[in-house]
């Protein structure tokens, strides 16, 4: 029997005009940080939920400035990004109790970068037993709740830690 899995938030991505698509990390007229799933913003870095996650509560940390190569980051940006990377991991531990994390950066299309011209780190929480036949056989990821609910759950933790 074929089981159906629904991920309705992916339809926006599927139907989007990729040629006209703007950078997801750069300012968007009229859209709030909440609408964009940005959990934390400082003058140099931001933390946001990945709208097309590899795993539940998948976060991204990026410089605010549009930068495409690590060598072009300022030291203050590097410091802020690494600080928020560590802080985000601690928040995810408190909020969701993962057993581990994959943390990394995809630089270039052949490395898997979906956003080519604005570098960013991925923080992918992992739980014992979260790898099963779904990704391997069905090429499907199972996310247990809607992204807006995950945002709602994480927001208080980010507010509590301040800027």
Mean pLDDT of 68-97: 96
CATH number attached to the domain at 27-160:
3.30.428.10
Check residue 100 and report its DSSP letter: E
18, two tokens: 């990729």
Catalytic-labelled residue, pool 117, 120, 122, 146: 120
- pLDDT of 133 higher than 50: no
- pLDDT of 66 higher than 60: yes
Instruction: Give the pLDDT score at 141.
Output: 62
pLDDT digits (tens, 9 = 90+) for 23-49: 888 877 788 999 999 999 999 999 999
Q: Who contacts 54 (Cβ-Cβ below 8 Å, separation ≥6)?
A: 102, 122, 124, 141
66 is catalytic: no
10, two tokens: 């992916």
Q: How many CB atoms lie within 10 A of CB 110?
A: 7
Q: What is the pTM assigned to this prediction?
A: 0.78
Task: Name the average pLDDT for the chain.
Answer: 83
Q: Rounded to an integer, what distance in angstroms lies between the CA atom of residue 48 and that of residue 20? A: 22
């Amino acid at each position: 029997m074929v089981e159906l899995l629904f991920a309705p938030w992916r339809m926006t991505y599927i139907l989007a005009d990729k040629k006209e698509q703007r950078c997801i990390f750069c300012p968007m007229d009229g859209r709030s940080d909440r609408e964009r799933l940005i959990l934390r913003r400082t003058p140099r870095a931001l933390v946001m939920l990945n709208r097309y996650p590899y795993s539940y509560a998948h976060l991204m940390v990026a410089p605010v400035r549009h930068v495409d190569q690590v060598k072009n980051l300022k030291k203050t940006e590097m410091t802020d990004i690494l600080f928020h990377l560590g802080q985000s991991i601690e928040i995810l531990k408190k909020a969701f109790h993962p057993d581990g994390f994959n943390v990394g950066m995809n630089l270039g299309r052949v490395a898997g970068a979906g956003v080519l011209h604005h570098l960013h780190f991925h923080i992918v929480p992992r739980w014992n037993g979260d790898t099963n036949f779904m990704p391997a056989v069905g090429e499907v990821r199972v996310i247990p709740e809607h992204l807006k609910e995950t945002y709602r759950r994480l927001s208080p933790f980010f507010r509590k830690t301040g800027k």
